[in-house]
Amino acid sequence: MATEKLAVTRATFDEVILPVYAPAQFVPVKGKGSRIWDQQGKEYIDFSGGIAVTALGHCHPALVEALKTQGETLWHTSNVLTNEPALRLASKLINATFADRVFFANSGAEANEAAFKLARYYASQRHSPYKSKIIAFHNAFHGRTLFTVSVGGQPKYSDGFGPKPADIVHVPFNDLAAVKAVIDDHTCAIVVEPIQGEGGVVPATREFMQGLRQLCDEHDALLVLDEVQSGMGRSGKLFAYEHYGVQPDILTSAKALGGGFPVSAMLTTNEIASVMAPGVHGTTYGGNPLACAVAEAALDIINTPEVLDGVAARRQLFVDALQGLNAQRDLFSDIRGKGLLIGAALKPQYADRARDILNAAAAEGVMVLVAGHGVMRFAPSLVIEPADIAEGMARFAAAVEKVLG
Ligand SMILES: *Cc1c(COP(=O)(O)O)cnc(C)c1O
């Protein structure tokens, strides 16, 4: 007996979903590579990548194959049992990074929650329960659990949910003197995104990252890098810390890790991991075979010279197109970011039009993102076809024309 499919449209969203999002007016039903199609069959070029998630585009054949194969083999066991895909993925992440140990979870926020808990726990076990201060940054984004919104540097995401976790201080990003002024021996961790994503696509400077590493070493604090958005090839290296000549103590990965399948990871060293014991932290789904099999397939493809080296050339195509647009219209004050995490900051007189440009771009058939205040953000597939970049940027230019005249 065939089950009847309920007819749903964008209007259904306003009736059935908790109103915490304001999704676009179209409903995508299919994706392939860097293109998606909506219910009416209209085609869009995807420069948003599901917010830096679909790093190999939509329905990449190798990921579909991994999902199908594992889907017919074993989905879930809980952590009462371990499983082969999780052990393989952890081994590969360790081989590719500073890390010796991996904890799997299901979202960026959960990986960060684990990271912040581990930083506090490590300090309490190795030093003192009073070594609990976390230093974080204005405009930082670390997720939506209560701990992660509290460490995040945008009060609008944590206000109204108090009492908030205590002993978290925020200072300006890329301002080493401000960190020096607040760090002390009661600090357990500095938490930072090597490239602030949601905050407006702002890369940390080399001096800043190296200075943070040094301050952590001087105060027995851990350097926690949130690479949920900047990692998994997005910057042109597997993880963005490789650009800076520093090693973290804890690193979190999510978004592109599963190429669109929900999975996240927290990476750390043997020394830090050694304070943990069964029961201290955990999750039911984290490290399930289905998610790990897809992530392993994604990592196998992303962590290759072909994909990582292709990022710079693709970035150049975007930057050339954005600069060309800027030469015509004097639109952007800055074009920045690393690799295929690109921010084009609108000049102050246009900054309030960022949403309008995003909506007009969708109408023209190209999906882009907004970050911070007035920053157009591009986070496409790492393997996007150059022809898709050219066509998408032409559609973007048409959208700008429509909005700004
Ligand atoms: C998206 C993001 C998160 C949160 O990830 P979720 O999967 O939405 O919980 C955390 N940190 C950074 C830097 C992010 O970009």
Do 197 and 91 share a structural domain? yes
Do 150 and 100 share a structural domain? yes
Q: Are 121 and 275 in contact (CB under 8 A)?
A: yes
Is residue 4 included in any domain, yes or no? no
Rounded Cα distance between 61 and 259, Å, is 12
Its domain, for residue 50, covers: 10-59+305-404
Ligand 1: centre distance to CA 345 (Å): 21
Annotated binding residue 178: no
Do 80 and 169 share a structural domain? yes
pLDDT at 2 over 70: no
Is residue 282 included in any domain, yes or no? yes
Do 125 and 17 share a structural domain? no
Do 20 and 141 share a structural domain? no
Domain boundary among 302, 335, 368: 302
Do 162 and 184 share a structural domain? yes
Q: What residue's CA is closest to ligand 1, atom 10?
A: 142
Ligand 1: centre distance to CA 291 (Å): 17
Do 27 and 129 share a structural domain? no
Domain boundary among 248, 274, 302: 302
Is residue 168 included in any domain, yes or no? yes
Ligand 1: centre distance to CA 109 (Å): 6
Q: Note the pLDDT tens digit of each residue in 143-172.
A: 999 999 999 999 999 999 999 999 999 999
Testing ligand 1's pocket by substitution, the residue of 229, 239, 263, 266 carrying the most ligand atoms inside 8 A of its CB is 229
Do 181 and 91 share a structural domain? yes
Q: Note the pLDDT tens digit of each residue in 331-359.
A: 999 999 999 999 999 999 999 999 999 99
Which residues participate in catalysis according to the annotation?
A: 141, 226, 255
> How many domains is the chain built from?
2
CB half-sphere exposure, 322, CA atoms < 13 A? 20
Q: Note the pLDDT tens digit of each residue in 289-318.
A: 999 999 999 999 999 999 999 999 999 999
Do 210 and 116 share a structural domain? yes
Do 117 and 250 share a structural domain? yes
The tokens for 108 are: 């960026």
Do 111 and 207 share a structural domain? yes
Do 235 and 327 share a structural domain? no
Residues in contact with ligand 1 (CB, 6 Å cut-off): 107-109, 112, 141-143, 193, 197-198, 226, 228-229, 254-255
Domain boundary among 269, 302, 335: 302
pLDDT at 1 over 60: no
pLDDT at 3 over 90: no
Is residue 3 included in any domain, yes or no? no
Is residue 2 included in any domain, yes or no? no
CATH number of the domain within which 128 lies = 3.40.640.10
